């Protein structure tokens, strides 16, 4: 099937299910043409080459589509979604739309969704409920669902059946098709569904409107091939594919020229960077070694997978400079048996060994992590191994979750014999430990001078400024507005539960 045929076969312009006259015909028609997103197809990882495209443009037929119209995008989930929103905002602007920060005067509302846990999905269904009322009063409003949930067949089917206020559903591989999808939605006033199940493409020249002028995200790779047994991401984001180093470096240089102070390199598993290149000799360490020479004061990367974290990367990170020594290294569990069931492909010992190597190369490194409690069959002893690993590593902080079964993943088929009450209780115990160690670590900052990238006024008090340290600690302090966007030195006066209070030492660092 060529590209055009595939687009045609995957694209469905569904009749309006509310149109009673044609409901039966519609249903027949729909079944005959509708190809739902398939988790099974999404799992296939072909050996086909990654196609790089540089030819995105907004063709004449779409010019002015958004004149005198406003768009609003609500983003759920991780930084990858946040960054996709920046791309979609870029496309909207290219079409002539203006942004708005309220749904009330928007002409198009997009929900950029996350499928990682059930409660993430429930939030979106709740929001769709609210939007139904809005749509009743303003029938011309277009409502779209995109992001990871739209890659799930069960979600698409549910929306088609019960949420007829939705006009468009499109997947994570279809973002560049937004102009076509919008036009179709306007023309037909019928539900447009366009979701490709797997894609191996990288589209380089999509427009972007970044949310801030101080910090920026840069994708270095897309997708995930790890297939941890609990996780939906490999199905919703497609196969691992790396951007070419030259494209990434050019983007980072461009951001440096625009005076950005901090870059976060993004991918679901950034340590697998380059593994899909033919010669497989260029990895994340090599990329970081080039990027560190670019004149940007702070470089971060996320998310790391312990399995692919290699010595070359550790060596490069050890060079310091603008490469920050804060590493987010999700462990998920402290028990080797649970890690095996999760198919994480490392065990407790290897994780601790890696932590040891990182700390040897970067003595001041701070580590943060993600942990899942209540995985099917997790025993009390296995959970306690998570607690003991946490104490041993002394993470700065952690994102902690109760396991949530995701349809189509291997773990969802496992018998789960851990009662919800037990899962909740484990989460509480783990959070108590996380809080205890975070508080202890924050307390150590009292009296120290830290470097802060000032982001703006504090949310609670406009007379107070707020910014982040190299290790992502939020610091509040009083100072002139002229330091916003700059790196300055602040003396920490008090550690609060989650944040630090400080006073300005020096207005701006020589960089």
Element (H, E) at 443: helix 420-443
Among 150, 236, 333, 368, binds ligand F3S (CB under 6 A): 236
Residues 236 and 149: their CA atoms lie apart, in Å, by 8
Which of ligand F3S, ligand SF4, ligand SAH, none binds 260 (CB below 5-8 Å, type-dependent)?
Answer: none
Residue 48 CB, shortest distance to ligand F3S, in Å, is: 22
For the window 89-118, what string marks contact with ligand SAH as x by the rule CB under 6 A? Answer: ---------------------------xx-
Give 78 or 387: the residue with its C-beta nearer to ligand F3S: 78
d(CA 182, CA 142): 9
Q: Residue 316 CB, nearest distance to ligand SF4 (Å)?
A: 22
Interface residue with ligand SF4 among 11, 69, 226, 406 (CB under 6 A) is 226
* CA atoms within a 13 Å half-sphere pointing along the CA-CB vector of 392: 15
| 215 is an interface residue for ligand SAH by CB under 6 A | no
- Quick one: angle between helices 380-393 and 420-443, nearest 10? 10
**Range list of H helices, 48-170:** 79-94, 118-137, 153-162
404 binds, among ligand SF4, ligand F3S, ligand SAH, none (CB under 5 to 8 A by kind): ligand SAH
Does 334 help bind ligand SAH (rule: CB under 6 A)? no
Question: Smallest Cα–Cα separation from 350: which of 306, 317, 407, 399?
Answer: 306
Helices (H), 112-244: 118-137, 153-162, 178-188, 233-237
345 lies in the site for ligand SF4, by CB under 6 A: no
Q: Indicate the residue among 234 and 285 with the shorter CB distance to ligand SF4.
A: 234
* Secondary structure letter of residue 49 according to DSSP: P
* DSSP secondary structure, 330-370, as one string: --B-S-HHHHHHTT-S--HHHHHHHHHHHHHH-TT-EEEEE
Binding mask 103-132 for ligand F3S (x = CB under 6 A): -----------xxx----------------
| Burial of 49: CB neighbours in 10 Å, binned 0-12, 13-18, 19+ | exposed
Most distant pair of Cα atoms in the chain: their distance: 73
User: Does 80 sit near ligand F3S (CB under 6 A)?
Assistant: yes
Please give the order of strands across the beta sheet that includes 262-266. Answer: 215-219, 262-266, 298-302
Is 268 near ligand SAH (CB under 6 A)? yes
146 among annotated binding-site residues: no
Residue 403 interacts with ligand SAH (CB under 6 A): yes or no: yes
For the annotated binding site, the residues are 78, 114, 148, 224, 228, 231
Where do contacts with ligand F3S occur on this chain (CB under 6 A)?
77-78, 80-81, 114-116, 147-148, 232-233, 236-237
For the annotated binding site for [4Fe-4S] cluster, the residues are 78, 114, 148, 224, 228, 231
């Amino acid at each position: 099937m060529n590209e055009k045929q595939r687009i045609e076969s995957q694209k469905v312009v569904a009749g309006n299910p509310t149109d009673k006259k044609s409901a039966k015909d519609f249903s027949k028609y729909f079944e005959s043409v509708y190809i739902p997103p398939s988790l099974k197809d999404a799992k296939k990882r072909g050996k086909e080459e990654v196609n790089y495209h540089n030819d995105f443009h907004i063709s004449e037929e779409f010019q002015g589509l958004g004149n005198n119209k406003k768009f609003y995008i609500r983003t759920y989930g991780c930084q990858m979604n946040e960054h996709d929103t920046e791309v979609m905002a870029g496309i909207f602007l290219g079409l002539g739309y203006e942004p708005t920060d309220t749904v009330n005067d928007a002409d198009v509302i997009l929900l950029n969704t996350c499928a990682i846990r059930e409660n993430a999905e429930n939030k979106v269904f709740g929001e769709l409920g609210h939007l139904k009322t809005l749509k009743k009063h303003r029938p011309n409003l277009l409502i779209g669902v995109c992001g990871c949930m739209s890659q799930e067949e069960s979600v698409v089917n549910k929306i088609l059946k019960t949420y007829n206020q939705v006009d468009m559903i499109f997947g994570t591989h279809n973002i560049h098709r937004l102009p076509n999808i919008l036009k179709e939605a306007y023309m037909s006033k019928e539900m447009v569904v366009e979701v490709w199940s797997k894609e191996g493409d990288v589209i380089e020249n999509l427009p972007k409107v970044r949310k801030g002028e101080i910090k920026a995200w840069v994708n270095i790779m897309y997708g995930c091939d790890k297939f941890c047994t609990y996780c939906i991401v490999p199905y919703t984001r497609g196969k691992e594919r790396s951007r070419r180093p030259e494209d990434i470096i050019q983007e980072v240089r461009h951001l440096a020229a625009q005076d950005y102070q901090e870059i976060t390199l993004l991918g679901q598993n950034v340590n697998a960077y380059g593994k899909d290149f033919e010669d497989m000799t260029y990895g994340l360490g090599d990329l970081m070694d080039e990027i560190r020479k670019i004149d940007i004061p702070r470089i971060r990367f996320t998310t790391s997978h312990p399995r692919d974290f290699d010595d070359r990367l550790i060596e490069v990170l050890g060079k310091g400079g603008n490469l920050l020594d804060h590493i987010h290294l999700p462990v998920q569990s402290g028990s080797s048996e649970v890690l095996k069931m999760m198919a994480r492909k490392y065990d407790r010992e290897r994780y601790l060994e890696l932590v040891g190597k990182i700390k040897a190369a970067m003595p001041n490194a701070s580590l943060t992590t993600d942990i899942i409690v209540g995985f099917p069959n997790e025993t009390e002893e296995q959970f306690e191994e998570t607690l003991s690993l946490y104490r041993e590593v002394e993470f700065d902080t952690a994102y902690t979750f109760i396991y949530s079964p995701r349809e189509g993943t291997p773990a969802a088929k496992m018998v789960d014999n851990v009662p919800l009450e037990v899962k909740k209780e484990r989460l509480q115990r783990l959070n108590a430990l996380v809080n205890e160690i975070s508080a202890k670590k924050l307390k150590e900052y009292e009296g120290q001078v830290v470097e802060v990238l000032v982001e703006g006024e504090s949310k609670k008090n406009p007379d107070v400024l707020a910014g982040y340290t190299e290790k992502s600690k939020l610091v509040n302090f009083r100072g002139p507005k002229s330091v916003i966007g700059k790196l300055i030195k602040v003396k920490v006066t008090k550690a609060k539960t989650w944040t630090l209070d400080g006073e300005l030492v020096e207005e701006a660092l020589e960089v």
